Structure 1
């Protein structure tokens, strides 16, 4: 039995966050077509009406088309799955620090609303992400953020800070008007046997190619 994480905020919508075991996706992909993008750490959100022959460069996918399973991959960045059940609109976003800072969350919500969603009716789940205690950054990194966002940085060792990426992503969701937000609070860095972590693999000199996959779909 694979270890698949789900969120109560997305109950009734086929979805899942994988672990190192991979994603047993029969319930998500049943009668569905897998849709992915070429992720480039951007704020770009695209609307999918069918699978692409050549995936576009983007970091969020939005659809109101039944039978499409939207998928993004991560290995420390924040995987965010969103749904407005009443409107029949879902989305999957890859929210690393750069994409979140530049507006990938807001662009995703905006694209959902163009398809008929309403921010207050959207539920969002933040999957396995590097936790604040595991995410050390330097002062130059912190200066990229507005002063109002410095509350997401805790003091660390001299000249360094601990950045709360999932907390920051949750705040961007709140600012976009999203009605329900669920942070699964799973740290990719510390759970060695459960999740891939690009940051941990880099620190240990290991292969950095492992990724989790997160998926959400609208039934046909």
Structure 2
């Protein structure tokens, strides 16, 4: 019997069709075994298509999936209808107010962020790696939601499974980039071995959302790096010398 799709949900998004998915319950095989949703993982395209369909069915049955070509930017686009897979816009966040669409972002250590204003009927999804996070991808998403009628104080957001501080070692140059960007960013770094630090990506993304003065922020607090049975991880695959890695998908819809 096939393993069921595992879905993680946020209390703040209760009543909104959403889910952060891991690797359990898919049809992919080999290094990306499970629910790999990444087209760039060297997986069979048919398997990825099946996995994405399984994910949508688990979160928002009958909806049409809309994704973007992720490039670690701060760019957000508005989805009014599905676009052809081959013509996906290059961006790292998307928003919609259209029932029947489900927005998806894929991650493999980066932070997936799902947002909603229930009263306005507006939702958003963002892929926040460190580049997108420091560049303001969550701010772009909130602004795009407001353009559709959302109100900042009503927007709630949840940060899904991503690499945790204990697992995310960076060097001095990385830390300096953040510390020069804004006062107080030092608090997201814990000292490690000589010349290295541990970066709190989830904490940083949460702080950016808090600074945007939205209605609430929830952290799921799940580390993708050590939990190989549940999550894909770029950094884990790199440390193991593996030639490929899968991506999990996070979804939100109306």
TM-score (norm 2): 0.83
- Work out which of the residue numbers 105, 108, 111 in structure 2 matches 1:78: 111
Paired position in structure 1 for 2:70:
39
Aligned-residue offset at 1:120: 1.2
CA RMSD in angstroms, aligned pairs only: 1.1
Identify which range, 19-28 or 103-112, moves more after superposition. 19-28
Is the 8 Å Cα contact of residues 154 and 214 (structure 2) preserved in structure 1?
yes
Aligned-residue offset at 1:28: 3.1
More helix by share: 2
Is the 8 Å Cα contact of residues 197 and 208 (structure 1) preserved in structure 2?
no
Paired position in structure 1 for 2:148:
115
Is the 8 Å Cα contact of residues 233 and 245 (structure 2) preserved in structure 1?
no
- Work out which of the residue numbers 219, 224, 240 in structure 2 matches 1:188: 224
Paired position in structure 2 for 1:5:
8
Aligned-residue offset at 1:134: 0.3
Paired position in structure 2 for 1:51:
82
Query: Could you tell me how far apart the structure 2 residues matched to 1:205 and 1:31 are?
Result: 39
Structure 1 runs, 4 residues or longer, greater than 2 Å off: 22-25, 27-31
Query: Could you tell me how far apart the structure 2 residues matched to 1:30 and 1:180 are?
Result: 27
- Secondary structure of 1:143's counterpart equals helix
- Secondary structure of 2:94's counterpart equals strand
Deviations 1:104-141 (A, max 9, x none): 01000000011111111111110000000000000000
Deviations 1:138-195 (A, max 9, x none): 0000111134211100111110000000000000001111211110000000112111
Paired position in structure 1 for 2:195:
159
Query: Could you tell me how far apart the structure 1 residues matched to 2:163 and 2:136 are?
Result: 19
- Secondary structure of 2:77's counterpart equals strand
Query: Could you tell me how far apart the structure 1 residues matched to 2:241 and 2:253 are?
Result: 36
Query: Could you tell me how far apart the structure 1 residues matched to 2:170 and 2:246 are?
Result: 22
Query: Could you tell me how far apart the structure 2 residues matched to 1:24 and 1:49 are?
Result: 21
Query: Could you tell me how far apart the structure 1 residues matched to 2:5 and 2:98 are?
Result: 28
TM-score (norm 1): 0.96
Paired position in structure 2 for 1:93:
126
Query: Could you tell me how far apart the structure 2 residues matched to 1:65 and 1:24 are?
Result: 19
- Secondary structure of 1:38's counterpart equals coil
- Work out which of the residue numbers 134, 148, 162 in structure 1 matches 2:167: 134
Paired position in structure 2 for 1:171:
207
Query: Could you tell me how far apart the structure 1 residues matched to 2:141 and 2:188 are?
Result: 22
Paired position in structure 2 for 1:198:
234
